[in-house]
Amino acid sequence: MKPLFLLALVNIILCFSTKAYIVQNDNTVTLEQYGAVGDGVRDDSKALQTAISSGKTILVSDKTYVINNNIYLYGNASIVGKTKSVFKINNDLSNADGKKFWFAIGITGKAASVRTWGGKITNITFTGSENAVFNYCINLFNADGGTISNCVFDWKGLSLSGVKGDPRGLSIESVNNASWCRSSNVKNMEIFQNKVLHKEDASGCEGIGISNGFNIKIHDNYVYGVADDAIAVHNTDGFEITNNKCYSTQGRIMMENSKNGVVKDNYVERIPRQISGGFNGGGALCMVEIGLANKNAYKPSNIQIINNYFKLPDGIPSPTYMLRAMAVDNCVISGNTFECNTKNGVSAIEIGMGNLRLITNNKRAAGMSSTQVNDFISPSNVTVTNNTCTGSHVLGIYETGPKSNFKGVFKYESNNAKDYRINSDGAIFSHNKAGNISTNSKKQLSSGN
C-alpha cells in the first residue's frame, strides 16, 4: 500500500506544480500579443497601454519599442524586460496628454481615477532622441510596495539646448501635480540597482527624487551627469539611502523636510559640467534642510549620515560646502570621509539654522508663535564622531549661527579636521585631532583633543 500511496502523492504534487506553472503563464503577456512591433520606428504606445490594462505582468523582448505617448501604469501590472529591452521616446508629449510626465504611476489617466500601483519595473532601458520633449520619465503618484530596479535611464541623446527652467529627463520622481492627480501617496517603495546617465551643465534634473513618501529605500544606484540632486527625499518619513554612487555637476544627496532616515555607504562627487566643461561652484554634496514648498512639512529629525565618502575636486570656482545639516533634530554624523582638493571648499561639516525667510515666504510660520518658529529653525542634539577630513585642502567642522539657537547636546568626538568652530553651550568635545579649536561655549570643552 505504501508504494501506491507514495505514487499517488507524487502525482498530486506534480499536478499542483504543473497548475502553478500554468497559472504563472496565464498571468503574463507580451507586447506583441497586443500588436507591438519593436522595430524602433513604429509607435507601440497603444500596445503597451492595452497590455497594462490587462493587469498582468508584461514580458518585454530584447527590442526597441517606440513609446511616443503618455503611459499610465496602475494596479499590480508589472513591466519586466531582458538585457536589451528599450523604451524610446521620439515625440513632444505636448502633443499628447502633456509633456510633464511620460510614465504616470498610480492613475488610470490624466485627471482620471486613482489606482494605487504595487508592481515592478525591471530591466528596461528608457531613452529618448533629440526630438523628445518631456519632463519626468517615471512619476509616482500613488504607489504602495512597488519596485523599480535594474533599469537604465539614458538621457545623453536628449537635446538640452534652451531648456533652462524646463528640465528634461528627470528619471524617477514623485512630484505632485493637481491637474494630473489631486492626491498622491507613495509608500513602501524600493528603488535599486538602476543607472541614471545624463549630460547636464547646471540647474537641471534630479536623478532619483521622492516627495511625500513613507518608508522609501533607495540603494545601489549609479547616478551620473545630473545638475540637480543625484538622490533626494522631500517631506518623507522613513528613508534609507545606501550604497549609491552619485556624480553631479551641481547637486547632492538631499534630505529636505524629511525625518527618520539613514544615509549610509554612499559615494558623492562633484564632476565637471557635461556640455560646456569646467566646474560649478556653490551648494553642497550632502544637505539636510528646511524646504520651500509645504507649509505642513516635517522638521528634519532622527537622521543618521554614516560611512559616506564625499569628494570635491580641484577647480571649483566659488565657495562650496561638503555636508550641511541645517535645523536638524537628533542627528548622527559618523564615520564619513571628506576629501577636499579645492581652495574654495568652505567646510567639511556645518551644523546651523534653517532659513527663516524660506519658512515665512512659504507660510510655514502661519499660526506659529515666535518660540515655535525659533524651535523649528534651530538644530538640536547632534553627534559628530569619527569623521576624517582629507585632501590637498583639508576642511574643518563648524557650527554657524547664534548660540541661543543651538538646543540640547552637541557632541564632537574622535574627528580629524583642519579646525573646529563651536558655538553651542555645553558642547561635548573630546579626542579630536589636528587643527585649531575656537569656541563661544560657556562650558569648558572636554580634554584629550
DSSP states of 162-183 as a string? T-TTS---EEEE---BTTTBS-
Cα–Cα distance for residue pair 130/101, rounded to 1 Å? 17
Which pTM value belongs to this model?
0.91
Helices H, strands E: what count in the chain? 4, 40
pLDDT tens track, the chain, 449 positions: 444 444 444 343 333 333 332 233 579 999 999 999 999 999 999 999 999 999 999 999 999 999 999 999 999 999 999 999 999 999 888 888 888 899 999 999 998 999 999 999 999 999 999 888 889 999 999 999 999 999 999 998 887 654 555 677 889 999 888 889 877 899 999 999 999 999 888 777 899 999 999 999 999 999 999 999 999 999 999 999 999 999 999 999 999 999 999 999 999 999 999 989 999 999 999 999 987 544 577 899 999 999 999 999 999 999 999 999 999 999 999 999 999 999 999 999 999 998 776 666 666 666 677 787 888 889 999 999 999 999 999 999 999 988 889 999 999 999 999 999 998 888 999 999 876 666 555 444 555 56
C-alpha cell at 165: 527652467
Name the residue with cell 530584447. Answer: 62
CB 36 within 8 Å of CB 20: no
Torsion angle in degrees (nearest 10) through CA of 175, 178, 181, 184: 50
The pLDDT assigned to 255 comes to 97
Q: How far is CA 222 from CA 61, 158, 290, 308, 407, in A?
A: 24, 19, 26, 15, 37
CB 58 within 8 Å of CB 79: yes
The pLDDT assigned to 26 comes to 76
Pairing of strands 407-413, 428-430: parallel
Cα–Cα distance for residue pair 75/114, rounded to 1 Å? 9
Torsion angle in degrees (nearest 10) through CA of 90, 94, 96, 98: 120
Cα–Cα distance for residue pair 438/448, rounded to 1 Å? 15
Of the candidates 106, 35, 120, the one whose C-alpha atom is nearest the C-alpha of residue 74 is 106
Cα angle 29, 34, 38 (rounded to 5 degrees) comes to 95
The pLDDT assigned to 362 comes to 63
CB 68 within 8 Å of CB 111: no
The pLDDT assigned to 162 comes to 46
10 Å CB burial of residue 254 (0-12, 13-18, 19+) is buried
C-alpha cell at 392: 590637498
Instruction: For residue 6, report the phi and psi dihedrals to the nearest 5 degrees.
Output: -65, -40
DSSP states of 116-158 as a string? -B--EEES-EEEE-TT-B-SEEEEESEEES-EEES-EEE-TTS
Q: How far is CA 350 from CA 138, 264, 291, in A?
A: 34, 18, 17
The pLDDT assigned to 183 comes to 76
The pLDDT assigned to 15 comes to 38
Residue environment code for 150-163, b if the CB has 16+ CB neighbours within 10 A, otherwise e = bbbbbbeebebeeb
The pLDDT assigned to 194 comes to 98
C-alpha cell at 2: 505504501
C-alpha cell at 308: 559616506
